[in-house]
């Protein structure tokens, strides 16, 4: 009995670990891309507005490509699509070593965005097919933790630049994506092809049109939720370092440490959130409470009533509160997913992250240009509250029964 149990548990550990690290790489490259733009901004003659446009272009390409990536995942399998995305992101950062103009960075933004678009449909298709259903909440938790740690690693580009220069930082930063692409390709046995189960489910339940699928109320609400969530997340992460330098008169390195503390706090919250996701059925309440607490902890930053010394503490608490919502959020999407549509739904719904990420740099870069960096944290506070309301409404929307989604 124990031997029979040990094999799937061991496979689950390998799958969850690999997909979690791969997801972390995607988040690392998201933040590292804009961080590198800020590093080369003066040398390349880029303005904050141009940095914001390039960041928006990255997420615009990712958002436009993500639903298509979901269809590709359901058509060709998640594993090769995921490996291609990892390789594309690694190459994007490495090519900063030779890029030196706005147009060159624009090409890299498109390449990076297309690499970034594959992760949510591929990751969740693999996890749903490969991991024991009783451990899915914790699997989603580790997936979210990987993303948070990846964001935490993004500001390290500042330190690599100080040690090796921006060319060395770009080349070193490219390595994780290329290595992980190889590892995903060679783990053929562990990463189960979700299409095998999807064919059986759709054969029994029928196949809805893409339009009917995407226009379901809970799926549209999830899309809006993710769009607003990412405006907060991406806007803060991309522009918090220069904002905190201005607001609290701290050094760039101190502000970068504050950002890393915020993201690490989010990672810790994600681990706790995974525990609740496997044990609490009312996922929307967990998400709403976490969002309201994140708003409460962000308010002192917006009002600049926290001292520079206590800034990392309040940011750690805000990050922790927001992080607890991640696994419950993913379970909400899973329960809204009709049978046989894992790649498509996760691709479409999580394209909301890219929509918000496209808008955030445009708005937040202008706040920096206008000299009102505190306004971004007022916006963040308000959006946390709005999303707490949205996530409660999702519960009231008519959703497909979760039993078919569980088959994936």
Interatomic CA distance for residues 270 and 189, integer angstroms: 28
Percent of the chain residues past pLDDT 90, beyond the cut: 30
- The answer to pTM > 0.95 is no
Q: Over the stretch 188-228, which tens digit does the pLDDT of each residue have? A: 777 776 666 555 555 444 455 666 667 777 788 888 888 89
pLDDT over 60 at 401, yes or no: no
Interatomic CA distance for residues 290 and 321, integer angstroms: 5
Give me the pLDDT at residue 381, please.
93
Interatomic CA distance for residues 53 and 102, integer angstroms: 10
Give me the pLDDT at residue 120, please.
85
pLDDT over 50 at 2, yes or no: no
**Mean pLDDT across the stretch 360-381?**
87
Which has more confidence, 192 or 378? 378
Q: What's the DSSP call for residue 306?
A: S
pLDDT over 80 at 396, yes or no: no
**Mean pLDDT across the stretch 61-88?**
88
Q: Over the stretch 312-329, which tens digit does the pLDDT of each residue have? A: 999 999 999 998 887 777
Q: Over the stretch 139-197, which tens digit does the pLDDT of each residue have? A: 888 888 888 788 778 878 888 888 899 899 999 999 999 999 999 998 877 777 666 65
**Mean pLDDT across the stretch 239-254?**
89
Q: Which residues contact 362 (CB under 8 A, 6 or more apart)?
A: 52, 53, 56
Give me the pLDDT at residue 86, please.
96
Per-residue pLDDT band for 340 (boundaries 50, 70, 90) equals low
**Mean pLDDT across the stretch 256-260?**
88
252 with 283: CB under 8 angstroms?
no
Give me the pLDDT at residue 184, please.
92
For residue 340, what are the CA distances in angstroms to 73, 125, 127, 130, 238?
12, 10, 14, 15, 36
- Residue 219's nearest CA partner among 342, 396, 349 is 349
- Return mean pLDDT, the chain: 82
**259 Cα distance to chain centroid:** 16
Percent of the chain residues past pLDDT 70, beyond the cut: 87
| Lowest-pLDDT range of 241-250, 292-301, 309-318 | 241-250
204 with 383: CB under 8 angstroms?
no
- Residue 327's nearest CA partner among 117, 150, 85, 146 is 146
For residue 396, what are the CA distances in angstroms to 31, 292, 341, 369, 389?
35, 19, 22, 41, 11
| Lowest-pLDDT range of 105-109, 144-148, 206-210, 375-379 | 206-210
Domains, the chain, in order of start with CATH, read: 15-190+208-403 (1.20.1250.20)
pLDDT over 90 at 370, yes or no: no
- Residue 339's nearest CA partner among 122, 128, 133, 189 is 128
């Amino acid at each position: 009995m124990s031997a029979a149990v040990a094999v799937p548990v061991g496979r689950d550990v390998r799958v969850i670990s690999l997909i979690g690290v791969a997801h972390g790489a995607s988040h690392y490259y998201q933040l590292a891309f804009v961080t590198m733009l800020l590093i080369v901004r003066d040398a390349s003659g880029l303005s904050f507005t141009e940095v914001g446009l390039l960041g928006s272009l990255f997420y615009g390409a990712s958002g436009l490509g993500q639903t298509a990536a979901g269809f590709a995942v359901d058509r060709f399998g998640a594993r090769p699509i995921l490996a291609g995305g990892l390789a594309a992101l690694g190459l994007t950062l490495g090519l900063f070593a030779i890029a030196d103009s706005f147009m060159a960075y624009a090409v890299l933004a498109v390449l990076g965005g297309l690499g970034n678009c594959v992760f949510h449909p591929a990751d969740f298709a693999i996890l749903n097919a490969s991991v024991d259903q009783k451990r899915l909440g914790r699997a989603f938790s580790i997936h979210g933790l990987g993303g948070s740690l990846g964001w935490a690693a993004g500001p390290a580009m500042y330190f690599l630049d100080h040690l090796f220069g921006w060319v060395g930082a770009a080349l070193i930063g490219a390595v994780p994506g290329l290595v992980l692409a190889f590892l995903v390709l060679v783990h053929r046995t562990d990463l189960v092809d979700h299409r095998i189960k999807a064919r059986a489910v759709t054969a029994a339940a029928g196949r809805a049109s893409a339009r009917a699928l995407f226009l379901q109320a809970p799926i549209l609400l999830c899309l809006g939720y993710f769009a607003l969530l990412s405006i907060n997340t991406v806007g803060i992460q991309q522009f918090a370092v220069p904002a905190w330098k201005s607001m609290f008169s701290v050094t760039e390195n101190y502000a970068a440490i504050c950002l890393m503390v915020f993201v690490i706090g989010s990672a810790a919250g994600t681990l706790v959130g995974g525990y609740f996701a496997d044990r609490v059925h009312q996922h929307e309440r967990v998400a709403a409470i976490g969002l309201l607490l994140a708003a409460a902890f962000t308010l002192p930053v917006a009002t600049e009533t926290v001292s520079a010394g206590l800034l990392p503490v309040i940011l750690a608490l805000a990050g922790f509160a927001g992080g607890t919502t991640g696994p419950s959020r993913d379970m909400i999407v899973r329960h809204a997913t009709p049978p046989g549509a894992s790649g498509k739904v996760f691709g479409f719904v999580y394209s909301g992250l890219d929509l918000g990420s496209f808008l955030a740099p445009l708005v937040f870069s202008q706040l920096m240009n206008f000299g009102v960096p505190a306004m971004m944290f007022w916006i963040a506070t308000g959006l946390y509250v709005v999303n707490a309301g949205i996530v409660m409404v999702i519960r009231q929307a008519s959703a497909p029964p979760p039993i078919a989604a569980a088959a994936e």
